[in-house]
A and B are shown apart, each in its own frame.
Chain A
Amino acid sequence: MSQTEPLIICEYCDAVYRRTPLQRHQRALCPRCAGVLYRHGSLSIQQRLALSITGAVLLLFANLYPVMTIGMQGLSNSATLWDSVLILSSGSITFIALVMALAIIFAPVLQITLLCWLLSFALAGRRAPGFAVSMRCLEGLRPWSMLEVCLLGALVAVIKLAGLLDVIPGIGLIALAALSMLIIYIAGRDIRDLWEQV
């Protein structure tokens, strides 16, 4: 492309450095502001695709199965992630339901879909149609994907209710736990490597 490709600019203080190859588990720090410049990308495209497909399966489980079930005097009720979005959408507070839906359902679904799309083409050594747009979407979605917060929230909810009622964690909660860890690992900044790899 151009001769500026081997250069890396620190996003926090604008200093310019020349890229050098890193060893496993190493990361490059900016000596001026101590920000992370880049990390060693330890996953191959094949491994990433495998993890993304795993993520897609977990995402299905996390959304289709109830996160938990409560029981009290013979009555019981269970809730999925979508139910918790719906309950916020009633009344005057609809806006927060949109934020919630983006944070715990739409952003992760889009992230996983885009990853599967990009990586399956990358596996064949090609850039997927809409490569640039998809990559920029992934970049923009990252701060809005809050599955790990959702996991902690579910655990707090379990404890909050456990004193009053019987709480039974569901399949959705287990899938959520696995998925939130996985998504941090595969949808992080390292995905930028794809620009150089394909």
Chain B
Amino acid sequence: MSTPVLADDLGLCLCHGCGLACELGKDHTCPRCGAPLHRRKANAINRGWAFLLAALVFYVPANLLPVMHTEMLGSGSDSTIGGGVLEFWEAGAWDIALIIFIASVGVPAIKFFSLGLLLFTAQRRSSWAQRQRSQLYRGVELIGYWSMLDVIVVALVAALVQLRGLGTIEPRPGILFFGMVVVLTMFSAMSFDPRLIWDHPGNDGGRTDGASE
């Protein structure tokens, strides 16, 4: 596979605001939309790690603390995210249990693992599986916000079940931490620069300087 011409070699840069190919002049702003231009996102790896680690820390209380409090006919109970999945599973609704499990446990776990892998390999300047890592990044971008599902479900259920005397459901702090995990992993993915994956030419079509015509 021949390596295509790279924007970096031509002194060009993609504007993230409007998608124009800009010349990297003195003033680092896009001539068309005025967005600031960066050759690469600033401190991509450090910021990525910082947000990812913060998300990991918040993931602990998100799973341990109750996300909602149910008060039905005088008896109250707290439920955690894992508890909600189990409840559906035991009631025989395995399909709903699976959706919630994927959204609240599967997606964050996949995101932690993928972002960690991307950051680690980019930091090591690895040229391993570049194409697949690019695809992995696009996958992380795509599944990013689906974990908000739990937050939305709790909010809707709590807003609905407000029957004084019969039953009420209230949100509990676990949901705050869970929402923070989602937001922080989204920030982590946004601060990572996928072009870093390709900055170090690998063995497949090693780019030699000046021979890219």
* Set of chain A residues within 8 Å of B130, measured between Cβ atoms: 13, 33
* A157-B153, A157-B160 given; A34·B134 CB < 8 A: yes
Task: Name the distance in Å between A18's Cβ and chain B's nearest Cβ.
Answer: 10
* Set of chain A residues within 8 Å of B158, measured between Cβ atoms: 84, 87-88
CA distance A84 to B65 in the complex (A): 21
Contact A79 B156 (CB under 8 A): yes
Contact B159 A35 (CB under 8 A): no
* Set of chain B residues within 8 Å of A77, measured between Cβ atoms: 160-163
Which of A4, A12, A87, A163 sits near B195, CB closer than 8 Å? A12
Contact A139 B148 (CB under 8 A): no
The total of interchain contacts (Cβ-Cβ below 8 angstroms) comes to: 212
CA distance A15 to B134 in the complex (A): 13
Whether A197 sits at the interface, judged by CB under 8 Å, is: no
* Set of chain B residues within 8 Å of A160, measured between Cβ atoms: 88, 96, 153, 157
Whether B91 sits at the interface, judged by CB under 8 Å, is: yes
CA distance A7 to B19 in the complex (A): 10
Interface residues of A (CB under 8 A from B): 1-2, 4-5, 7-17, 31-35, 38, 67-70, 72-73, 75, 77-79, 83-88, 91-93, 95-96, 99-100, 103-104, 132, 135-136, 139, 143-144, 146, 149-150, 152-154, 156-157, 159-161, 163-165, 189, 192, 195
Contact B18 A136 (CB under 8 A): yes
* Set of chain B residues within 8 Å of A143, measured between Cβ atoms: 144-145, 186, 190
Which of B21, B34, B173 sits near A7, CB closer than 8 Å? B21
* A14-B198, A77-B162, A156-B99 given; A195·B4 CB < 8 A: no
Interface residues of B (CB under 8 A from A): 1, 3-8, 10, 12-14, 16-23, 31-35, 72, 88, 91, 93, 96, 99-100, 130-131, 134-135, 137-138, 144-146, 148-149, 151-153, 155-163, 165-167, 170-173, 175-176, 179-180, 183, 186, 190, 194-195, 197-198
